[in-house]
Structure 1
Amino acid sequence: MWELAPEIGRKIIAGAFPIKAFRKPRAVPDTLSGTLGRVGALEVRLAATRKEVRKAQRLRFKVFFGEGGAIPDPKAALTRRDADKFDAFCDHLIVIDHEGKTRGGKIKPTVVGAYRLLRSDVAIKKRGFYSSTEYDIAPLLARHPGKRFLELGRSCVLAAYRGKKTIELLWKGILAYIRAYNIDALIGCASLEGSNPLAHAVALSFLSHHAAAAGEWSVRARRELHVPMNMLEASAFDPRKALAGLPPLIKGYLRVGAKFGDGAVADRKFNTTDVFVVMPVAEMDARYLEFFGGPCSERRAA
């Protein structure tokens, strides 16, 4: 989904790795510089230090490699962090439990949820979008010159926190980010657990028949990776049961009006089957925009 010799990993531990690899998170608008939402002991905001980014990476390692069966490369295995070349220039949205506890029972703020955010203006200057490694998104971007895209990626939540509160806080953070940067569309890859697409025939067929992106928002998996999603006829499954069986993240995307690209991608390194998500902000369900981030009219003009 989303490689370095062991000696490089040792240099990281020893502090000999080039400092630019852990550059301080970039400055953000004032509206994003503090708390973006809070429910009880849970707070959502952008990571403000290198240490907080590392905490998000450790959470990702725990979820992706510890729970999901992803295969760590030597660097990840040594540092116990999921990190790649994109992290240095992305913003990192985190949920913190201020009453989290260590194994010894000591109260310690703990990062329990995370999202990686990459804007198109940053992607153009750097290494492009992560999702372009699996999907041909160039035609989509070309059809919308001047539009501001935001790629959502590396989403994860600690098992004990996978409930309504954490998900709602993450969405509050995303909506605040959308408004601060006047984002026009959200894109990214979402995953189903397990890298055998045939095991997800019902889920993939449901998305293909009932939530396919079309026309100017259509996107197709790269030719060499493309796995057809419409494996079953629409009459061969119960759409309500298919919807209920989808991962919470994908169901959440559907609720706000997301559409899905043509073709799934088997990511064997991360043991997932990926689908492409596209959400034009203007077409997102206004009820959810208002619930998570206030009235749509608050979105500033370009």
Structure 2
Amino acid sequence: MTIPLQQACYRARFATSEADLLACQQLRHLCFFGHPGRDADKFDVDCRHLMVTDVAGHLVATLRLFEAANGAQAAAGYAGQHYDLSGFAQMTRPMIEIGRFCVAPDVMHADVSRTAWAALARLVDAGNVGMLFGCTSLTGTDPARYGQAMQCLIRNHLGPREYLPGIKSSNVTKLSDVPVTGTHPLPPLMRSYLAMGGWVGDHLVTDPRMKTMHVFTCLDVDAVPPARARALRTLAQALALP
């Protein structure tokens, strides 16, 4: 599927070949590990991989989508291995897990992220998706460097009690236990979720292999502020789906 954004210099499409998937995995490795390589895991085969390319066809961003028919199936994705998602079991609308969202380090243009979100908006509307969710990565493994940001999340952005993921991993830090010292900002992806009304879980999970931490992040599509929803749909109208 090709999703050209007419007013910008970027295009979005799904990976359709092994070469496409390899390009996505190589960009992921560069972004998350900081050097060339291939980031691949068992979840790739069950996901669709969205690619954002420039006018020359170079890959500048990627993310993968695990599409669950309902809340009971959501636990089968990547997030489900780190978080207890049994609170989602009664949800009947489709859900999409967004994973491995990354932008090439040498690309700073805001239209890259806007192109990806516009493509997601079309997919959400087309599939009557009720929730977007995923694990938002934080650089490093020291929660204290994000201390003030974690306090902000606790005060303003904790999810509904009935949906909060339970603890499943052994490498966990409760947000409430993070010292209020560090001033490192939240990553752009999490800020995007929060600006649209998203919420977070109450604990961080450390990933020693990737040398990162992540927090469960969720966006109830129906809770997106009306003005933001209109802006997303206006942008999505620029996408020509075949």
- In the superposition, the TM-score normalised over structure 2's length comes to 0.87
1:83-122 alignment runs, 5 A limit: 83-99=40-56, 109-121=57-69
1:110-189 alignment runs, 5 A limit: 110-121=58-69, 128-137=76-85, 139-144=86-91, 146-189=92-135
Query: Which segments of 5 or more consecutive residues in structure 1 lack a partner in the other structure?
Result: 1-32, 68-76, 100-108, 297-302
Name the SS of the counterpart of 2:100 in structure 1: strand
Name the SS of the counterpart of 1:294 in structure 2: helix
Q: Which amino acid aligns with 2:49?
A: H
Measure the CA separation in 2 of the matches of 1:216 and 1:263. 15
Q: How many residues align?
A: 236
Cα pair 1:192 1:274 within 8 Å, conserved: yes
Name the SS of the counterpart of 1:270 in structure 2: coil
**Greater share of strand:** 2
1:42 matched to 2:10? yes
1:64 matched to 2:10? no
| Deviation for aligned residue 1:295 | 9.3
| Deviation for aligned residue 1:166 | 0.8
| Deviation for aligned residue 1:148 | 1.2
Measure the CA separation in 2 of the matches of 1:256 and 1:126. 21
Query: Which segments of 5 or more consecutive residues in structure 2 lack a partner in the other structure?
Result: 237-242
User: Could you give the per-residue CA deviations for residues 85-136 of structure 1, whole angstroms, max 9, x where no partner exists?
Assistant: 111121111110123xxxxxxxxx2111011100113997899110012111
Measure the CA separation in 1 of the matches of 2:166 and 2:74. 23
Cα pair 2:199 2:218 within 8 Å, conserved: yes
Measure the CA separation in 1 of the matches of 2:172 and 2:205. 6
Cα pair 2:47 2:66 within 8 Å, conserved: yes
Give the fraction of aligned pairs with identical amino acids, expressed as a percent: 25
1:198 matched to 2:166? no
C-alpha RMSD of matched pairs (Å): 2.7
- In the superposition, the TM-score normalised over structure 1's length comes to 0.71
Cα pair 2:196 2:225 within 8 Å, conserved: yes
Measure the CA separation in 2 of the matches of 1:211 and 1:120. 24
Measure the CA separation in 2 of the matches of 1:123 and 1:58. 31
